[in-house]
């Protein structure tokens, strides 16, 4: 498992590039959506609410899947950083083993084991990515509901009675949005936690190997 994670970590440039591409696509889609909004709000209220339902549905739909899509891109970038830290950790271990290989086997100490947070870092990183994909999937689901609801004229939506499909759809959108926003930030926090674990592991390895080599060199005097 550890070797497989080490091999996957070498793909960190691809992860960062994918994240950048997603964010760039989000920018262009957002710009296109802004032009739709400009054309929509250039018309009178009556025209907007009775004849421009497709534009309203498009704006509402994009507004629901776009934020988690952008967060997904940022998540790929942060995951790439965490994977790059894993590469650094593996290189530090390799350098330590190479230095120790020059010592006699009888006096050769064992490299200190990685701390628990170093072993958990890849799992935390992947968990954060799972959260991002869940958020994006929920955003797509909500966007479908919004496209269905706002395809109707606003007077029809305003006249919808309790328990109607239109009101249930609007209710669902607002309920899910209430927890989806903090959930996306929870995913971001999970990725930052993985990065912090990686940095802490690097500090641990450098400190432990320095102390170990100092002890070996001191005992040889």
pLDDT in tens, the chain (221 residues): 566 666 778 888 999 999 999 999 999 999 999 999 999 999 898 888 888 889 999 999 999 999 999 999 999 999 999 999 999 998 888 887 777 777 766 666 777 778 889 889 999 999 999 999 999 999 999 999 999 999 998 888 888 888 899 999 999 999 999 999 999 999 999 999 999 999 999 999 888 888 877 766 665 55
What pLDDT score was predicted for residue 208?
85
Q: What is the model's pLDDT at position 3? A: 66
**Global confidence as pTM:** 0.86
So what's the pLDDT on residue 172?
Answer: 94
Instruction: Report the C-alpha gap between 215 and 145 in whole angstroms.
Output: 66
Three-state secondary structure of the chain:
CHHHHHHHHCCHHHHHHHHHHHHHHHHHHHHHHHHHHHHHCCCCHHHHHHHCHHHHHHHHHHHHHHHHHHHHHHHHHHHHHHHHHHHHHHHHHHHHHHHHCCCCCCCCCCCCCCCHHHHHHHHHHHHHHHHHHHHHHHHHHHHHHHHHHCCCCHHHHHCCCCCCHHHHHHHHHHHHHHHHHHHHHHHHHHHHHHHHHHHHHHHHHHHHHHHHHHHHHHHCC
Q: What integer pLDDT is reported at residue 219 of this predicted model?
A: 58
Q: What is the signed CA dihedral for 37, 42, 43, 45, rounded to 10 degrees?
A: 70
Q: How far apart are CA 79 and CA 93, in angstroms?
A: 21
Task: Provide the residue ranges of all domains of the chain, joining segments of one domain with +.
Answer: 2-219
pLDDT at 158: 84
Residue 218 has what pLDDT? 62
The per-residue pLDDT for 1 is 55
């Amino acid at each position: 498992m550890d070797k497989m994670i080490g091999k996957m970590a070498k793909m960190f440039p691809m992860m960062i590039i994918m994240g950048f591409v997603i964010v760039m696509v989000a920018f262009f889609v957002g710009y296109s959506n802004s032009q739709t909004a400009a054309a929509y709000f250039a018309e009178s209220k009556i025209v907007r609410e009775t004849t421009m339902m497709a534009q309203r549905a498009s704006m509402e739909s994009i507004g629901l899947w776009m934020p988690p899509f952008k967060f997904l891109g940022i998540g790929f970038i942060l995951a790439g950083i965490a994977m790059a830290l894993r590469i650094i950790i593996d290189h530090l271990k390799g350098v330590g083993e190479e230095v120790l290989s020059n010592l006699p086997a009888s006096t050769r100490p064992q490299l200190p084991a990685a701390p628990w947070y170093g072993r958990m870092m890849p799992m935390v990183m992947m968990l954060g990515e799972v959260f991002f994909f869940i958020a994006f999937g929920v955003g797509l689901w909500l966007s479908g509901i919004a496209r269905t609801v706002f395809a109707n004229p606003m007077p029809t939506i305003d006249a919808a009675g309790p328990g109607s499909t239109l009101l249930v759809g609007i209710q669902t959108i607002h309920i899910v949005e209430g927890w989806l926003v903090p959930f996306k930030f929870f995913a971001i926090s999970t990725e930052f936690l993985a990065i912090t674990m990686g940095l802490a592991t690097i500090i641990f390895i450098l400190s432990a190997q320095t102390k170990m080599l100092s002890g070996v060199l001191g005992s040889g005097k």
